Amino acid sequence: MRFARVLVLAVSTAVIGAAASAQQPATPAAPPANAPPTNAPSGGTPAAMPFDIPYGLSIGEDKARQVLQAAADEAKKRNWKMNIAVVDTHGELVYFLRQDGAQIGSVTIAQGKARTAARFRRPTQIFYNAFESGHPYIATLDRGLVASPGGFPLVENGKLIGAIGCSGGTGDQDALICKTGADLVK
- Condensed to tens digits (0 to 9), the pLDDT of residues 9-52 reads 444 444 444 444 445 555 555 554 444 444 445 567 888 888 88
pLDDT band at 146 (very low <50, low <70, confident <90, very high): very high
Domain for residue 39, yes or no?
no
Packed helices 171-182 and 61-78: angle between N→C axes, nearest 10 degrees: 140
Task: Quote the pLDDT of residue 26.
Answer: 53
Task: Give exposure, 9-46, as e/b (b: 16+ Cβ within 10 Å).
Answer: eeeeeeeeeeeeeeeeeeeeeeeeeeeeeeeeeeeeee
How many Å apart are CA 152 and CA 174, to the nearest integer?
A: 10
Residue 140 included in any domain:
yes
Dist. CA 183–CA 20, nearest whole Å: 57
Within-domain flag for 132: yes
Instruction: For the chain, give the percent of residues with pLDDT over 90.
Output: 67
Residue 31 lies in a domain: no
Domain that holds residue 92: 61-182
Quote the number of domains for the chain.
Answer: 1
- 83 in a domain, yes or no? yes
What is the domain-level CATH number for residue 85?
Answer: 3.30.450.150
pLDDT of 44 reads 73
How far apart are the two ends of the chain, measured CA to CA in Å?
Answer: 84
The residue that leads in pLDDT, 175 or 45, is 175
pLDDT band with cut points at 50, 70 and 90 for residue 110? very high
pLDDT at residue number 127: 94
Extended strands (E) in the chain: 83-87, 93-98, 151-156, 159-167
Q: Dump strand ranges (E) for 23-177.
A: 83-87, 93-98, 151-156, 159-167
